[in-house]
Structure formats: C-alpha cells, structure tokens
Amino acid sequence: MASMFKRMAGAARLNVATYEEVEADRGATWQAIVVAVVSSFAVTIGDFHTGDVDVLARFGLGLAGWISWVFFIWLVGVKMVPEPETRSDLGELIRTTGFASTPGLFRILGLIPFVGWLFVIAAWLWTLAAMVVAVRQALDYKSTPRAVFVCVLGFAANLLVIFFQLQLFRAATT
C-alpha cells in the first residue's frame, strides 16, 4: 500500500518517472482502479448539492465517465493520431490515467461553503494536467500538444456520453 500512496503523490506532482513506472507495472492495475474509484467517490461527495437524491447513481456515472474517457483516449491516441513510437494498450492507459485521477481527491473540498467551487475547479484543472502527462507517457508521445489534443478530444467525446447517460437516466426516472 505504501507504494500506491507514493505513486499517488508522484502522479499528483506530475512526475514523469511515476507515470513510466505504473505504465510498465501490470501489477499496478488494481491500484490505479482503486485510485480512480476513490477519486470518483471524492468527486461525488465534493460536488454534492442539496436535493441530490441518487448519489450512488452519480458515483456510478462518474466512474463510467472515467472509463469512457480512457476508451476515447485510446481510440483517438492509439488508433487515430499515434506518433510513430506509439505502442500502448488499454491496460497501460488504465494504470496511468487511474493514477492521474489522484488530484480528483481534492474535489471533496467542494463541500467548503462559499469557496469550495474554487477547489473543484482547481482540482479539475490539475486532473486534466495529470491526464496529459499520463497520456503523453502511456502513448510514448514526444509532443505534449498532441497529448493535450487527445485528452481534450477524448474528454469532449466523454461529455457526449455523459449527456446521453443523463438523458437516459432522466427518461427512466420520469
């Protein structure tokens, strides 16, 4: 477990060596999934609003959002716009992006009255920066702008999935 927390700290510091380590360590897959699950839980709690009724569904949708984001990153980054050196699989992306979700833990600070939203925005931007580093390393990109493009495009596709999930959820509950 200490190794997991050390990796989380390295991922939060955007340490390239940490992302290379978890990319190569197949044994870190479950650690990365745990980080993503706990981060999704922190996001769910930190983004809680009075009147939220189905917190479990929001948690599930948040976790599904991470999974679909990873899939779209793989699709765009590996299949559509790879660099010549790009060699990656979903396992490597799960490991690196799972640890890149570490800054999402700070979204729990969204509960702080009046200023919590600032922490939410800062943690979201920090997570995006961590995702860029994770993707650059997992896909063996030399170009950070390409990693930014892949993350943003993957996130946009993810937002569409979330939008349709919400529409289906609303239709099912009305």
The dihedral built from the CA positions of residue 17, 103, 96 and 41, taken in this order, carries a sign that is positive
In tens digits, the chain (174 residues) has pLDDT values of 559 999 999 999 999 999 999 999 999 999 999 999 999 999 888 877 666 667 787 788 788 888 989 999 999 999 999 999 998 889 999 999 999 999 999 999 999 999 999 999 999 999 999 999 999 999 999 999 999 999 999 989 888 877 887 788 778 877
Can you tell me the distance from the alpha carbon of 167 to that of 146, in angstroms, rounded to the nearest whole number? 32
> What is the value of pTM for the model shown?
0.89
